[in-house]
């Protein structure tokens, strides 16, 4: 083409781009901005806890419709400060309910899980069932279940909130409702209701849907499973002794969107590196270790009790227990169920 001809094409191309944009269209050949990649991130418990304690002094719990309805400190990925989210799929926050307080009753379309860090028997009520919270317990409140948290004890209660809220928002499926008949719903179900309904021996049902159910997993039942499997040497080279909290009805992931796992690393153990297209936030329940991100000269993220660490999708990672005497325990949540359901799951192992 002659110079004049090329110039003519370029002018027409420019005009075409303008016309496309004016009509909410775009050419495949036109570049678009890529979303910022998520960064690995470590949140030391000392920092989270001191901010949470401070919030306990300066943030009064408001009523259910207000922004202060929950007193939580949220883990924010540096790439998601606008969205104010931990990952693109799930949110991790740490909640404080002081003695005498009730985090008022509401419900929403997104699912919630709570992993208890500190509590001397405060409780969450979900769909009329009172569920006592003890350290290490995991409680599930499915989407659209009424829930409120009441602390009648004399000690502040603290837990991790694990929500598929960012995914729900992305999908324009966010709805919520405030309970109109009081700050807390009445307790209408007997103790142990969900265990009898959803346990391994339960009323016969032919209609099992892939939906979360209100449930509570007790740490006093989970820890012995970890310990016994460790004693039986039932180890995965990439994850140590790894347990999944399963939906008691479907046997699948805890929630259809996000899964909760807990793993034990033997004294001195270093897991082998792998990477996958799901991401995870780890919370150290017990022990001291380091997670190495990247292959070869990986970056080390040292963690101690209660610290939280985000490992983005497709990062090589391996965990090392720094103690030669004590096992380390990591609780984690992952968007693996979403990624797998959508057919996007890939894994590479070394």
| Residues of the shown chain interacting with ligand 1HN in the complex, contacts defined by CB under 6 A | 70, 72, 93, 95, 103, 112, 147, 149, 161, 163, 165
Smaller CB separation from ligand 1HN, 147 or 317: 147
Please, what sign has the CA dihedral across residues 74, 335, 331, 107?
positive
- E strands in 68-168: 72-74, 91-97, 102-108, 112-118, 122-126, 129-133, 138-141, 147-150, 157-163
C-alpha–C-alpha distance, residues 15 and 52, integer Å: 55
Residue placing its CB nearer to ligand 1HN in the complex, 163 or 281: 163
For ligand 1HN, the closer CB: 64 or 265? 64
251 has which bridge partners?
none
Kindly state the smallest distance separating residue 70's Cβ from ligand 1HN, in Å: 4
Q: Which is closer to ligand 1HN, CB of 149 or CB of 306?
A: 149
Whole-number Å distance between alpha carbons of 45 and 273: 26
- Smallest gap from Cβ 128 to ligand 1HN, in A, equals 16
Shortest distance, CB of residue 112 to ligand 1HN, whole angstroms? 6
Please work out, in degrees rounded to the nearest 5, the angle formed at the alpha carbon of residue 107 by the alpha carbons of 216 and 253.
Answer: 40
What are the residues facing 93 on neighbouring strands?
Answer: 74, 161
CA distance 303 to 329: 11
Q: Report, in Å, the least distance between residue 219 CB and ligand 1HN.
A: 19
**Closest approach of ligand 1HN to the CB of residue 111, in Å:** 11
On whether the CB atoms of residues 175 and 150 are closer than 8 A, the answer is no
CB nearer to ligand 1HN: give 68 or 210.
Answer: 68
Our CB check for ligand 1HN shows the closer of 94 and 280 to be: 94
Q: Provide the token pair at 284.
A: 């150290």
Nearest-angstrom CA–CA distance, 69 and 266: 41
How far, CA to CA in Å, does 349 sit from each of 209, 252, 309, 325, 334? 33, 23, 21, 28, 18
Nearer CB in complex with ligand 1HN: 93/271: 93
Q: How far is the CB of 91 from ligand 1HN (least distance, A)?
A: 6
Joined together, the tokens standing for residue 258 give: 């996000």
- In the complex with ligand 1HN, the residue whose CB is nearer, 177 or 244, is 177
CB of 202 to ligand 1HN, least distance (A): 27
Smallest separation, CB 298 to ligand 1HN (Å): 33
């Amino acid at each position: 083409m002659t110079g004049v001809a090329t110039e003519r094409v370029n002018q027409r191309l420019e005009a075409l781009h303008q016309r496309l944009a004016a009509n909410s269209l775009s050419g495949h050949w036109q570049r678009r901005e890529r979303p910022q990649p998520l960064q690995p991130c470590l949140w030391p418990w000392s920092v989270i806890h001191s901010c949470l304690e401070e919030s306990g002094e300066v943030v009064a719990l408001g009523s259910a419709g207000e922004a202060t309805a929950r007193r939580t400190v949220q883990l924010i990925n540096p790439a998601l400060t606008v969205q104010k989210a931990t990952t693109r799929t799930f949110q991790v926050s740490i909640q404080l309910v002081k003695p005498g307080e009730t985090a008022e009753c509401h419900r929403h379309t997104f699912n919630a899980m709570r992993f208890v860090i500190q509590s001397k028997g405060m409780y969450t009520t979900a769909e009329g069932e009172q569920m006592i919270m003890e350290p290490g317990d995991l409680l599930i409140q499915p989407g659209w279940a009424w829930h409120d948290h009441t602390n009648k004890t004399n000690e502040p209660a603290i837990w991790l909130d694990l929500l598929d809220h960012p995914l729900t928002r992305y999908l324009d499926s966010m709805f919520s409702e405030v309970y109109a008949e009081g700050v807390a719903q009445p307790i209408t179900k007997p103790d142990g209701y969900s265990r009898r309904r959803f346990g391994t021996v339960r009323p016969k049902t032919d209609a099992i849907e892939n939906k979360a159910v209100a449930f509570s997993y007790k740490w006093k039942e989970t820890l012995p499973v970890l310990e016994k499997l460790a004693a039986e040497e039932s180890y995965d080279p990439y994850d140590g002794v790894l347990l999944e909290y399963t939906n008691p009805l479907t046997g699948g992931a805890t929630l259809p969107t996000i899964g909760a796992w807990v793993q034990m690393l033997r004294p001195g153990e270093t897991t082998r590196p792998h990477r996958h297209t799901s991401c995870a936030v780890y919370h150290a329940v017990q022990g001291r270790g380091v997670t190495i991100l990247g292959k070869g000269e990986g970056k080390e993220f040292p963690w101690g009790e209660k610290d939280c660490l985000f490992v983005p999708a497709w990062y090589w990672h391996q965990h090392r227990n720094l103690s030669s005497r004590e096992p380390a325990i990591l609780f984690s949540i992952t968007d693996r169920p979403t990624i797998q359901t959508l057919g996007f799951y890939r894994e590479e192992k070394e």
